[in-house]
Structure 1
Amino acid sequence: MSGAGGTTAAARLLIHASRDVPVDTPRVPAREAARHELSKPMYHENDPNLLQRGLDRLWGWLGDLFATASNAAPGGPLGLIVLVAVILGLAAALWWRLGTPQRTTRPPEALFDDSPRSAAEHRTAAEAHAVAERWNEAVQERMRAIVRSLEERALLDPRPGRTADEAAAEAGRSLPAHEIPLRGAARDFDDVTYGGRTADRHTYLAMQALDLDIENAKPRLTTAARGAAE
Structure 2
Amino acid sequence: MPNWGEMAPAAGGAPVTTPRDPARDAVRDELLKADYHRHDPSLQQRVYDWFMDRIDDALNAIAGDGTTGTTGLILFLVVAVVIAAALWWRLGAPRRAARTTPDVFGTAGPRSAAQYRADAERHAAAGQWAEAVREQMRAVVRGLEERTLLDTRPGRTADEAATEAGRVLPGHAADLTAAARTFDDIAYGERTADQAAYQLLRDLDQALERARPALATAPGGAA
Measured against the shorter chain, the TM-score band is 0.5 to 0.7
Instruction: Determine which structure has the larger helix proportion and give its number.
Output: 1
Q: Which amino acid aligns with 1:152?
A: E
Partner of 1:203: 197
CA distance in 2, matches of 1:178, 1:103: 32
Quick check: 1:218 aligned with 2:212? yes
Map of 1:30-109 to 2, 5 A cutoff? Answer: 105-109=98-102
In the alignment, the residues of structure 2 paired with residue 151 and residue 182 of structure 1 have an alpha-carbon distance, to the nearest angstrom, of 14
1:111 aligns with 2:141: no
Q: State yes or no: 1:178 paired with 2:172.
A: yes
Distance 1:130 1:211 in 2: 15
Point out the structure with max Rg over C-alpha: 1
User: SS of the counterpart of 1:111?
Assistant: coil
The alpha carbon displacement at 1:194 in A equals 1.1
Equivalent position of 2:139 in the other structure = 145
Alpha-carbon distance, 1:207 to partner: 1.1
Partner of 1:133: 127
> Is the partner of 1:168 in helix, strand or coil?
helix
Looking at structure 2, the residues matched to 209 and 114 of structure 1 have their Cα atoms a distance apart, in angstroms, of: 24
How many percent identity over aligned positions? Answer: 57
Take 1:162 and 1:117, find their aligned partners in 2: how far apart are those partners?
A: 15
For structure 2, which runs of at least 5 residues remain unmatched after alignment? 1-94
Shift of 1:197: 1.2
* Deviations, residues 79-130 of structure 1 (Å, cap 9, x unaligned): xxxxxxxxxxxxxxxxxxxxxxx96644110111340100000000000000
**1:194 maps to 2:194:** no
Given candidates 120, 123, 129, the residue that maps to 2:117 is 123
CA RMSD between the two structures = 2.1
Q: How many angstroms apart in 1 are the aligned matches of 2:188 and 2:113?
A: 23
Q: SS state of the match for residue 126, structure 1?
A: helix
Query: Separation in 1 of the partners of 2:142 and 2:192?
Result: 24
Query: SS of the residue aligned with 1:195?
Result: coil
Mark the runs of 5 or more structure 1 residues left unpaired by the alignment: 1-101
Which secondary structure state, in structure 2, belongs to the residue aligned with residue 109 of structure 1?
coil
Q: Which amino acid aligns with 1:146?
A: V
Contact 1:104 1:195 in 2 (8 A): no
Give the aligned residue type for 2:150: L
Which structure has more RCO (C-alpha within 8 Å, separation ≥ 6)? 1
